[in-house]
């Protein structure tokens, strides 16, 4: 059966496309130089080019290194600027805040007490020391400060005179 197919294929006429053009065969010129059997004679290293190539390579490497250091410095400066801006924004919200230090904890400022609370003298001294005093409020501190200001001036605080007549 395979032989029948090949016989049928042989008898099929080929139709040449009008757009198909077969190129002309290449003719070699008569004075062409043939290659020798050994081509190692053609491989000669040009030592005259070497210093030029080496200087170009060294200058290229120094240029690349300079660009790399500039790029690293620029990126480092950019990161430092970001951190500085972030710290400034945080300090605007909370003055004195430093993110490197951790959480900002409030500290109580000690205010000088103008007078000490009066403890009845009828109790013995050991009993006075053992009784805990109630915690002071902001209102108590305000009253103490106003009393201290009044005692410094020598006269009681009076309201301002009204200039309207």
Using CA of residue 74, residue 76, residue 82, residue 88, what is the dihedral sign? negative
Per-residue pLDDT of the chain (165 residues; tens, 9 = 90+): 555 566 666 776 777 788 888 889 999 888 887 777 888 877 888 788 788 888 888 999 999 999 999 999 999 999 999 999 998 998 888 887 777 777 767 777 776 555 555 555 555 555 555 677 777 888 888 899 899 988 887 655 555 555 565
Q: What pLDDT is stored for residue 134 in this prediction?
A: 74
Are 119 and 128 spatial neighbours (Cβ–Cβ below 8 Å)? yes
Q: What is the pTM of this model?
A: 0.34
Location of structure tokens 């480092």 = 76
Q: Would you list the domain boundaries of the chain? A: 47-93
């Amino acid at each position: 059966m395979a032989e029948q197919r090949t016989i049928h294929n042989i008898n099929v006429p080929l139709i040449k496309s009008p757009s198909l053009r077969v190129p002309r065969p290449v003719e070699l010129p008569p004075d062409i130089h043939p290659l020798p059997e050994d081509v190692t004679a053609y491989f000669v290293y040009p030592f005259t080019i070497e210093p030029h190539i080496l200087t170009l390579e060294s200058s290229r490497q120094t240029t690349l290194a300079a660009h790399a250091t500039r790029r690293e410095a620029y990126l480092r400066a950019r990161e430092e600027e970001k951190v500085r801006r972030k710290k400034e924004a945080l300090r605007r919200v909370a003055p004195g805040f430093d993110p490197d230090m951790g959480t900002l904890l409030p500290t109580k400022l000690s205010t000088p007490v103008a007078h000490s609370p009066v403890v009845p003298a009828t109790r013995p001294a050991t009993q006075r020391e053992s009784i805990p005093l109630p915690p002071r409020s902001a209102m108590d501190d305000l009253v103490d400060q106003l009393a201290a200001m009044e005692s410094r001036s020598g006269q009681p605080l009076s309201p301002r005179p009204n200039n309207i007549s």
